[in-house]
Amino acid sequence: NISLATPLPEIPKPVFASVDGQEKYETKITTLENGLKVTSQNKFGQFCTVGILVNSGSRHETKYPSGIAHFMEKLAFSSTAQYGSKDEILLTLEKHGGICDCQTSRDTTMYAVSAEVKGLETVVSLLSDAVLQPRLLDEEIEMTRMAVRFELEDLNMRPDPEPLLTEMIHAAAYRGNTVGLPRFCPVENVDKIDKGLLHSYLQNYYCPERMVLAGVGIEHEQLVECARKYLLNMKPVWGTSSGNNVDVSVAQYTGGIIKMEKDMSDVSLGPTPIPELTHIMIGLESCSFLEDDFIPFAVLNMMMGGGGSFSAGGPGKGMFTRLYLNVLNRHHWMYNATSYHHSYEDSGLLCIHASADPRQVREMVEIITREFIQMAGSAGEVMELERAKTQLKSMLMMNLESRPVIFEDVGRQVLSTGKRKLPHELCDLISNVTASDIKRVTTKMLRSKPAVAALGDLTELPSYEHIQAALSSKDGRLPRMYRLFR
């Protein structure tokens, strides 16, 4: 009869695992002699995500025809110096249970591979080959032209106009410069882009000091060793990178309007067709992700929230956000009202996208402008702000549970700032946001000229000057129009 509190005789003393603080999971960064940064974050598990991020995207295409980034995304992981075709690459990865992917945005190109940790060496060697030694064969470029043409057609035919509107609002907000340049290749440039042009672009932008090799789920020393072996003295196929002709222009916010008259009546036919809608997006200049105001803007975006009129769910789904409470719950004819926040290293854009029947466009625009004005009026009840902060923190933490998301976060932060803010630091910053911060950033934002994108039947669309006047007024109402004949 031994009590549970006493150790059993003749049984060895147990050794318990202990946690020695955060050291094991901090982000480590090493810069190689050629300027390439290697960064990693360890994570429990037998799979890892490794990739190369390049500071190159559609915003850098000032001196080139737009569409190079779009082409590079489609050409990624095709034949290289080592591998004869895309299939060979996929078969090599398959041995390690791996998959590869390339994504471009306005400011970053990201080549990523997820595979077993045991295959790390193969993965880094493959990445180095895919990024620095692509063959860019004529038939591959021809296939890419077809893929790009198809994607452009698809973009204009989709029932969901969000990608197209995002393109338009950027073009309106930053007319003809940096992040306002088209992210998708314009139709007229599809035939202009060839191997020579791609090499001339890559020579300027794909240089080691503009790259980060990031890994999640691996030992840092191991990654650095592989980087030294495969990336330190690797000569790119286009010759030595000069990096002298890099476009360093800062985003110039211009504001403005871009309209696209389009018949949306047959966008989605079938047993339950979506009715004909007109889509409007109104945006104002926010701030870059390097500024301190970035966090209050993120909280504000969360507080505005919104979504489609068919979404269901409780408070966690954003049912208590302003665009639900003030817009979708009060105006049954509004099909959608969603807030978006796009942020770059030198500027940002906070916009609201709304869609409704073409006959109610004027009323819909006024509802959005009133929401913008009310953002500054009161930061609402304490409860609303706290809910938005909690929601933002939980979204951040939940997203950072998945390995590819951690990879992208580590890579992007190191690429743009040279260091990484850990999730708990970001959560502290979010907790410190006050109602006066929200009021301050909104007041600053409302001083900028609006950017407007409109798609669909635009007969009832108010003029740009009227939208601007509404956003400068006290209550956000559009100037009254008196028509003799209705």
User: What pLDDT, in 10s, does the model give residues 55-72?
Assistant: 999 999 999 999 999 999
The domain segmentation of the chain, as residue ranges, is 27-232, 256-472
pLDDT over 60 at 249, yes or no: yes
Q: What is the mean pLDDT of residues 197-207?
A: 95
Q: Are the beta carbons of 399 and 405 closer than 8 angstroms?
A: yes
Q: Are the beta carbons of 34 and 128 closer than 8 angstroms?
A: no
Q: 21: alpha, beta or left, given left = phi > 0 and alpha = psi -120 to 50?
A: left
Q: What is the pLDDT of residues 20-35, one digit of tens each?
A: 655 556 899 999 999 9
Q: What is the pLDDT of residues 115-166, one digit of tens each?
A: 999 999 999 999 999 999 999 999 999 999 999 999 999 998 888 899 999 9
Q: What is the predicted pLDDT for the residue at 54?
A: 98
Q: What is the pLDDT of residues 212-248, one digit of tens each?
A: 999 999 999 999 999 999 999 999 999 886 667 888 9
Q: What is the predicted pLDDT for the residue at 260?
A: 96
37-41 and 211-216: which strand pairing? parallel
List the beta strands (DSSP E) in 269-406.
278-285, 306-308, 334-343, 348-356
pLDDT over 80 at 19, yes or no: no
Q: What is the predicted pLDDT for the residue at 270?
A: 75
Q: Are the beta carbons of 360 and 460 closer than 8 angstroms?
A: yes
Q: Can you tell me the distance from the alpha carbon of 79 to that of 324, in angstroms, rounded to the nearest whole number?
A: 49
pTM for the model: 0.92
Q: What is the pLDDT of residues 317-339, one digit of tens each?
A: 678 899 999 999 999 999 999 99
Looking at every residue in the chain, the average pLDDT score rounds to 92
Question: What tokens does 480 get?
Answer: 């009254």
Q: Are the beta carbons of 288 and 369 closer than 8 angstroms?
A: no
Domain pair 27-232 / 256-472, same fold: yes
280 CB-contact burial (10 Å; exposed 0-12 / middle 13-18 / buried 19+): buried
Q: Can you tell me the distance from the alpha carbon of 388 to that of 299, in angstroms, rounded to the nearest whole number?
A: 6
- Is 256-472 CATH 3.30.830.10? yes
Q: State the DSSP string of 363-397.
A: HHHHHHHHHHHHHHH----HHHHHHHHHHHHHHHH
CA 358 to each of CA 100, 260, 273, 369, 458: distance values in angstroms, whole numbers, following the listed order: 43, 13, 16, 18, 7
Architecture field, domain 27-232: 2-Layer Sandwich (3.30)
Question: What tokens does 404 get?
Answer: 């590819």
